[in-house]
Each structure stands twice: as C-alpha cells, then as structure tokens.
Amino acid sequence: MPGLRERKKAQRYQAISEAAIALFLEKGYDKVSVAEVAAAAEISKPTLFRYFASKEDLVLHRFADHEDEAARVVADRPAKRPALDALQRHFLDGLERHDPVTGLNDAPGVLAYLRLLYGTPALVARLYAYQDRSERALAEALLTAHGGNTLEARLAAGQIVTVRRVLAEENMRRIKAGESAAAVWPDAVTSANRAFTQLRSGLARYA
C-alpha cells in the first residue's frame, strides 16, 4: 500500500489534471495557457511543470496507469496461463466494468474527454507515443513470458495492441452514433472473443 506522501502526490497529480481538463473542455485546448491551468490549480507555473513535463501530459495523465497495463497483465498472470488468455480475460473484464479504455463508456464526462483527446492534433500525436511505449513494454513482457526473439515479440505486441485499439474504436464509434454502452456490450464481447481467436491463429507461441 502506498504511503501518505505517495498518496498525497497522486492526489495532487489528479487535482492538477482535472483542473486542466475542465478548462480545456470549457474554452478549448489551444485557448488555455499553462499559466491559466496553474492559477486554476492554485499553484505556480514552475510547480506545475514539476508534476507535468508538458501541456499534453495534463490531459494524458488519465492514461498514465494504462501505459504498461498490458505488460503487467502478462507479467502478473497465473503460472502457465498463456499470455493471450490473460489479455483476453483482462479486456473482457474491462468491458464488463465499462472501462473507458475499452471504448465502452457512455458517461457524458468520458465522452467529452474523448472528444477533447481525439479532436486535438497535439494530443493525438502524444497518444501515438503512448501507444508505442505500451507496445514496447508488452513486447518485453511477452519475450520474458514465452521466449522467442525480440522481433517476434515486437510483431506480436504490435498485433495485440492494434486489436485492442480497433475494438475500443469500434465501441466508441457506436456510442458516438447514439447507442448506449449497455446496448453495445453484447456485441463488444462477441467481437473481442472473435478478435482474440484470430490472434491465436497467428500467434501460437503466446496462446
């Protein structure tokens, strides 16, 4: 369990990020300065940069815990459980929880955040960097778990990350078109199971 100092630091990160996102949603990302965010969070600009290296990171902080999530799922899976089985179960659990990362969430605040994220070129560019780091971390975990060579693990990680992204994008597309998360959920589960079945046909080492 994290100590008091770590919990307070995490709370400060969260508070600053939430203040920033609220301003970005109200005024537009490009119309809000870092100084305005610092003022809203009641801290100085230098203090803000001690927590966040860039303006983009103020928004993508919500993804921070997810960057190495797939790698952690593989590393922490039960003994002898194939990596793909663990990743599939994790994605299905996310769908059941309506985890925003799976795209299956219709809460107004989540939808507003996603419009901000995907409607801002600077944030999309930073998101690609996040996905690249996620893919590299997963490749290392797959290599440790199942052996093989570095290129094979990178290719597998790329396919897995892409499948997860495409599944999430399809869920988001349907919700943006007006369907509820509850209505999309059965099809989302079916699509996820089919996608991981396709992965197994080409990634036998990890199945």
Pick the CATH number of 67-206 from 2.60.120, 3.30.1360, 3.30.1330, 1.10.357: 1.10.357
Every domain of the chain with CATH number 1.10.357 lies at 67-206
| Residue whose structure tokens are 């996102």 | 21
Pick the CATH number of 4-53 from 3.10.180.10, 3.40.47.10, 1.10.10.60, 3.40.50.300: 1.10.10.60
pLDDT in tens, 159-197: 999 999 999 999 999 999 999 999 999 999 999 999 999
The answer to whether the predicted template modeling score (pTM) of the entire model surpasses 0.85 is yes
Every domain of the chain with CATH number 1.10.10.60 lies at 4-53
Task: Provide the mean pLDDT of the chain.
Answer: 94
Statement: residue 136 has pLDDT above 70: yes
Closest CA to 104 of 163, 164, 185: 185
pLDDT of residue 181: 97
**How much is the average pLDDT of 116-133?**
91
Residues in the chain: 207
**How much is the average pLDDT of 119-142?**
93
Name residue 207's amino acid: A
What does the alpha-carbon distance between residue 156 and residue 13 come to, in Å, rounded to a whole number?
A: 33
Statement: residue 1 has pLDDT above 70: no
Closest CA to 132 of 161, 175, 164, 112: 161
Burial of 37 (0-12, 13-18, 19+ CB in 10 A): buried
pLDDT in tens, 23-71: 999 999 999 999 999 999 999 999 999 999 999 999 998 887 788 999 9
Structure tokens at 33: 């300065």
What does the alpha-carbon distance between residue 150 and residue 71 come to, in Å, rounded to a whole number?
A: 15
Direct distance between the N- and C-terminal alpha carbons of the chain, in angstroms, rounded to an integer? 33
Statement: residue 79 has pLDDT above 90: no
pLDDT of residue 206: 85
Name residue 160's amino acid: I
Angle between the 4-27 and 34-41 helix axes, to the nearest 10 degrees? 130
